[in-house]
């Protein structure tokens, strides 16, 4: 595990402290292995402009450490100093920032205001010497690293103030309905609920016989998750257009997972389109997005979010041309955007949450979700999903933007009920769609080994139902989508 740390301050005033921190942390056997420190004057060897270097570095960092002293510094942008500008850039996306205020007299007014801001955020310490500063920085870094290591088991933490009375019977029924494993279904009615929940790692029965939920169990089954102070809010919004401005529909939820999935299904279906705009195809239900890909992205967001981060929430935004899903927390180390779907071996931030999901239809093949998402988008002839990893893990699914785009596998994705098509006609539509081929009466009859009259009847029927177009080329009719 390597933690990226950005040191931000008035460079001139704190030149000695900055160099001292850099050198001492490099010497320390523990921090030299676990911390990657960015100090601009030491680490800025780049052909890029200097402001691009330090803003890029601060946005990529896991921790921001700000030093506040006597002088605020020159105004950089937006009427603030470079130090405060760097803090604004970092804190707009992340929350692990710490300030160290040097004790001094005759502090200038802007420095006083910045110090007050740090105090109001309640993440600051005073220091006098560079040795004091080093000691406090080491303390903060150790605490952060330990918390990150412990967060791997965040969802298995037992909630001692919970009992079986906190379990929502409706959430349990939704879990039963979603189960793939009959051996767990068979336990209901045979074993007590607390023993079943312990069996699936949703909690523990203590030595007194009292059942307590763990944090994973609370997220799946608690009547009121807010009672346990777990960050789990999700915001679903349908915008009018391609900008986050005019809201058509919204739903903010703090429900347990299976109820949340029901909310998602309802919100998704009422805010995406079905059908087409081209004559016959408007009688055939055509989904705007592959439902499996969108649900996969949504389940991933709630299963893999970093629940230790405070102040953030999962967002599910639908625009006219795309869907964006964002979940607090970067990809678990050492995963990167480039390795997603390439290395199938799963790495989970929340093992208990994934373990419970894996028992249901919502996570059937653990570790292959990204691959399935890509495959489903390709099946629908839509662009490959985009992934962004910048404090929030984001998935962007680009849609047809009002156009009629047919999926490759028409039989799988299109409901032809009511159109009374035979298997040859459906197969021909697939070939026209995927292979972009055109048919004449003769080529159609030869492909399906039928008479010319039968082939002509099939194609004319597709044309009358406005599923294909017909044009005359020389002395023959050609049919195409």
Domain extent listing, the chain: 3-153, 157-228, 234-271+289-350+358-398, 410-480
Residue 149 has a pLDDT of 59
- Gap between the Cα atoms of 444 and 455, Å rounded: 6
Q: Provide the pLDDT confidence category of residue 456 given band limits of 50, 70 and 90.
A: very high
- Gap between the Cα atoms of 269 and 371, Å rounded: 23
| Class of domain 410-480 as given by CATH | mainly alpha
At residue 392, φ and ψ (nearest 5 deg) are -115, 135
| Domain 3-153 grouped into CATH 1.10.3720.10 | no
Residue 170 has a pLDDT of 95
Angle between helices 291-304 and 351-358 in degrees, nearest 10 = 140
Residue 466 confidence (pLDDT) above 60 = yes
Residue 406 confidence (pLDDT) above 80 = no
- Gap between the Cα atoms of 155 and 214, Å rounded: 7
- Gap between the Cα atoms of 481 and 474, Å rounded: 19
Residue 269 confidence (pLDDT) above 90 = no
Mean pLDDT along residues 172-195 = 89
Give the 3-state secondary structure of residue 364. coil
Residue 49 has a pLDDT of 41
Q: Provide the pLDDT confidence category of residue 203 given band limits of 50, 70 and 90.
A: very high
Average pLDDT, the chain: 85
At residue 179, φ and ψ (nearest 5 deg) are -65, 140
Measuring CA to CA, which residue among 170, 249, 164, 165 is closest to residue 202?
164
Mean pLDDT along residues 83-93 = 87
Residue 474 has a pLDDT of 82
Residue 417 has a pLDDT of 65
- Gap between the Cα atoms of 53 and 45, Å rounded: 9
DSSP class of 9: S
Residue 223 confidence (pLDDT) above 60 = yes
The model's pLDDT over 429-448, given as tens digits with 9 standing for 90+, comes to 888 887 888 999 999 999 99
Mean pLDDT along residues 249-272 = 92
Share of the chain above pLDDT 70, in %: 89
Query: Could you tell me which residue, 472 or 192, shows the higher pLDDT?
Result: 192
Residue 81 confidence (pLDDT) above 70 = yes
Residue 279 confidence (pLDDT) above 70 = no
Contact 116, 142 (CB under 8 A): no
Angle between helices 169-178 and 257-271 in degrees, nearest 10 = 70
At residue 323, φ and ψ (nearest 5 deg) are -120, 135
The model's pLDDT over 136-162, given as tens digits with 9 standing for 90+, comes to 999 988 888 777 655 556 888 899 889
Query: Could you tell me which residue, 121 or 68, shows the higher pLDDT?
Result: 68
Question: Under CATH, which architecture does the 234-271+289-350+358-398 domain have?
Answer: 2-Layer Sandwich (3.30)
Residue 422 confidence (pLDDT) above 60 = yes
The model's pLDDT over 11-64, given as tens digits with 9 standing for 90+, comes to 899 999 999 999 999 888 778 878 888 887 775 544 434 455 566 777 788 899
Query: Could you tell me which residue, 402 or 133, shows the higher pLDDT?
Result: 133
């Amino acid at each position: 595990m390597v933690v990226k740390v950005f040191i931000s301050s008035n460079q001139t005033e704190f030149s000695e402290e900055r160099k001292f921190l850099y050198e001492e942390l490099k010497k320390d056997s523990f921090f030299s292995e676990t911390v990657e420190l960015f100090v601009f004057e030491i680490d800025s060897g780049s052909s890029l402009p200097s402001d691009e270097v330090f803003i890029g570095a601060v946005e990529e960092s896991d921790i921001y450490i700000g030093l506040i002293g006597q002088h605020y510094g020159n105004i950089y942008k937006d009427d603030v100093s470079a130090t405060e500008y760097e803090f604004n850039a970092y804190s707009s996306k992340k929350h692990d920032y710490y300030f160290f205020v040097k004790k001094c007299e005759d502090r200038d007014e802007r420095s006083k205001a910045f110090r007050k801001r740090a105090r109001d955020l309640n993440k600051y310490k005073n220091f006098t010497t560079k040795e004091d500063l080093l000691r406090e920085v080491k303390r903060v870094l150790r605490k952060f690293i330990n918390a990150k290591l412990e967060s791997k088991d965040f969802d298995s933490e037992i909630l001692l103030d919970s009992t079986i009375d906190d379990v929502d019977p409706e959430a349990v029924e939704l879990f039963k309905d979603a189960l793939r494993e009959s051996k767990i279904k068979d336990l209901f009615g045979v074993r007590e609920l607390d023993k079943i929940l312990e069996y699936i790692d949703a909690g523990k029965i203590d030595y007194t016989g009292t059942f307590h939920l763990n944090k994973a169990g609370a997220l799946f089954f608690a009547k009121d998750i807010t009672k346990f102070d777990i960050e789990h809010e999700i915001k679903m919004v349908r915008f009018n257009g391609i900008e986050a401005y005019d809201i058509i529909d919204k739903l903010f939820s703090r429900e347990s997972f299976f109820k949340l999935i029901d909310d998602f299904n309802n919100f998704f279906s009422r805010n995406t389109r079905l059908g087409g705009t081209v004559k016959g195809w408007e009688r055939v239900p055509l989904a705007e997005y592959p439902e499996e890909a969108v649900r996969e992205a949504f389940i991933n967001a709630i299963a893999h979010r970093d629940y230790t981060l405070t102040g953030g929430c999962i967002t599910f935004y639908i625009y006219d041309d795309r869907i964006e899903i964002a979940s607090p927390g970067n990809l678990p180390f050492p995963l990167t955007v480039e390795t997603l779907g390439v290395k199938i071996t799963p790495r989970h931030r929340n093992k208990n949450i994934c373990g419970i999901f894996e028992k249901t239809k919502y996570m059937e093949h653990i570790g292959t979700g990204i691959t399935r998402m890509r495959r489903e988008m390709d099946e629908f002839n839509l662009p490959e999903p985009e992934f962004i990893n910048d404090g929030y893990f984001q998935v962007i699914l680009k849609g047809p933007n009002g156009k009629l785009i047919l999926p490759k596998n028409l039989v799988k994705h299109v409901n032809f009920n009511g159109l009374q098509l035979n298997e040859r006609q459906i197969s021909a539509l697939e070939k026209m769609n995927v292979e972009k081929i055109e048919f004449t009466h003769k080529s159609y009859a030869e492909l399906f080994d039928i008479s010319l009259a039968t082939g002509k009847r099939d194609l004319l029927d597709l044309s009358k139902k406005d599923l294909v177009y017909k044009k005359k080329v020389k002395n023959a009719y050609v049919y195409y989508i």
